[in-house]
Amino acid sequence: MSGSSTNGTSTTGATGATASTAGSARLAAISAVTNYKPSAPALDFTKTPAAELYASNIFSKAVMKERLPKNVFKSVLKTIETGAKLDPSIADIVASAMKDWAIERGATHYAHVFYPLTGQTAEKHDSFLAPDGDGGAVTEFSGRQLIQGEPDGSSFPSGGIRATFEARGYTIWDVTSPAYILENPNGTTLCIPTAFVSWTGEALDKKTPVLRSMQALNKQVQRVLKLFGHTDGALVSSTAGPEQEYFLIDRNFFFARPDLLNAGRTLFGAKPPKGQEFEDHYFGAIPERVLACMLEVERELYKLGIPIKTRHNEVAPAQYEIAPVYETANQANDHQHMVMLTLKRVAEKYGMTCLTHEKPFAGVNGSGKHLNWSMGSATQGNLLDPGDTPHDNAKFLLLCAAVIRAVDKFQGLLRAVVATASNDHRLGANEAPPAIISIFLGDQLTDVFEQIKAAGGASKSLPKGTLTVGVDVLPPLPKDAGDRNRTSPFAFTGNRFEFRAVGASQSIAGPLVAMNTIIAESVDYVATRLEKDTAGDPSKLNGALQKLLQEIITQHGRIIFNGDGYSEAWHKEAEKRGLLNRKTTPEALVALKDKAVEELFEKYGVLTKRELESRYDIYVEQYCKTVRVEAKLTIEIARTLIYPAAVRYLNQLASAGANLKALGQNFCTGTIEKISELVKSLQESTAKLETELDKHGFADLTAEAHHFCDAVVPAMVAVRTAADGLEGYVADDLWPLPTYQEMLFIK
Ligand code: ADP
Ligand code: MG
Q: What is the mean pLDDT of residues 209-238?
A: 96
The answer to whether the CB of 12 falls within 8 A of the CB of 736 is no
Cα(93)–Cα(71) distance, rounded to whole angstroms? 11
Cα(194)–Cα(172) distance, rounded to whole angstroms? 5
What is the residue with the minimal CA distance to atom 14 of ligand 1?
Answer: 241
Q: What are phi and psi of 437, to 5 degrees?
A: -85, 125
What is residue 287's predicted lDDT score, i.e. its pLDDT? 85
Please report, as a single letter, which amino acid is at residue 109. Answer: H
**Does 597 score more than 90 pLDDT?**
yes
Cα of 491 to ligand 1 centre, how many Å?
12
In percent, the amount of the chain with pLDDT more than 70 equals 91
What is the residue with the minimal CA distance to atom 17 of ligand 1?
Answer: 241
Cα(215)–Cα(330) distance, rounded to whole angstroms? 11
310 lines ligand 1 (CB under 6 A): yes
Cα of 370 to ligand 2 centre, how many Å?
6
DSSP state of 264: S
**Does 656 score more than 50 pLDDT?**
yes
243 lines ligand 1 (CB under 6 A): yes
Cα(250)–Cα(747) distance, rounded to whole angstroms? 7
pLDDT band (50, 70, 90) for residue 42: confident
485 lines ligand 1 (CB under 6 A): no
Cα of 78 to ligand 1 centre, how many Å?
28
What is residue 25's predicted lDDT score, i.e. its pLDDT? 82
Handedness of CA 274, 276, 278, 284 (dihedral sign): positive
Which is the closest atom of ligand 1 to the Cα of 493? 4
239 lines ligand 1 (CB under 6 A): yes
Ligand with smallest separation from the Cα of 488? 2
Q: What are phi and psi of 660, to 5 degrees?
A: -65, -40
What is residue 20's predicted lDDT score, i.e. its pLDDT? 52
Cα of 546 to ligand 1 centre, how many Å?
30
Cα(460)–Cα(239) distance, rounded to whole angstroms? 41
Q: Does residue 326 or residue 38 have the better pLDDT?
A: 326
494 lines ligand 1 (CB under 6 A): no
89 lines ligand 1 (CB under 6 A): no
The answer to whether the CB of 502 falls within 8 A of the CB of 377 is no
Q: How long is the chain?
A: 747
What is residue 167's predicted lDDT score, i.e. its pLDDT? 63
**Closest C-alpha to 222, from 436, 377, 47, 450:** 377
pLDDT band (50, 70, 90) for residue 459: very low
Q: What is the mean pLDDT of residues 621-647?
A: 97
pLDDT band (50, 70, 90) for residue 432: confident
pLDDT digits (tens, 9 = 90+) for 693-722: 999 999 999 999 999 999 999 999 999 999
Ligand with smallest separation from the Cα of 383? 1
pLDDT digits (tens, 9 = 90+) for 342-354: 999 999 999 999 9
What is residue 49's predicted lDDT score, i.e. its pLDDT? 86
What is the residue with the minimal CA distance to atom 2 of ligand 1?
Answer: 243
pLDDT band (50, 70, 90) for residue 5: very low
**Does 130 score more than 80 pLDDT?**
yes
Cα of 706 to ligand 2 centre, how many Å?
33
Q: Does residue 17 or residue 225 have the better pLDDT?
A: 225
pLDDT digits (tens, 9 = 90+) for 495-526: 999 999 999 999 999 999 999 999 999 999 99
Q: What are phi and psi of 411, to 5 degrees?
A: -60, -35
377 lines ligand 1 (CB under 6 A): no
Ligand with smallest separation from the Cα of 326? 1
Strand 490-492 to 439-440 pairing: parallel
What is residue 734's predicted lDDT score, i.e. its pLDDT? 94
Per-chain mean pLDDT for the chain: 89
The residues whose Cβ lies within 5 A of ligand 2, an ion, are 370
240 lines ligand 1 (CB under 6 A): yes
**Does 468 score more than 50 pLDDT?**
no
The answer to whether the CB of 227 falls within 8 A of the CB of 527 is yes
The DSSP H or E segment spanning 187 is strand 187-198
**Does 16 score more than 70 pLDDT?**
no
Cα of 409 to ligand 1 centre, how many Å?
25
pTM value is 0.92
Ligand with smallest separation from the Cα of 311? 1
Q: Does residue 188 or residue 278 have the better pLDDT?
A: 188
pLDDT digits (tens, 9 = 90+) for 389-424: 666 688 999 999 999 999 999 999 999 999 999 999
339 lines ligand 1 (CB under 6 A): no
Cα of 559 to ligand 1 centre, how many Å?
23
Q: What is the mean pLDDT of residues 47-55?
A: 89
What is residue 457's predicted lDDT score, i.e. its pLDDT? 36
Q: What is the DSSP string of 291-307?
A: HHHHHHHHHHHHHTT--
What is residue 87's predicted lDDT score, i.e. its pLDDT? 86
672 burial (CB, 10 Å; 0-12 / 13-18 / 19+) is middle
326, 384, 493, best to mutate for ligand 1 pocket (most atoms within 8 Å of CB): 326
**Does 121 score more than 60 pLDDT?**
yes
pLDDT digits (tens, 9 = 90+) for 71-102: 999 999 998 888 788 888 899 999 999 999 99
484 lines ligand 1 (CB under 6 A): no
Cα(201)–Cα(593) distance, rounded to whole angstroms? 22
pLDDT digits (tens, 9 = 90+) for 519-551: 999 999 999 999 999 999 988 998 899 899 999
Cα of 125 to ligand 2 centre, how many Å?
36
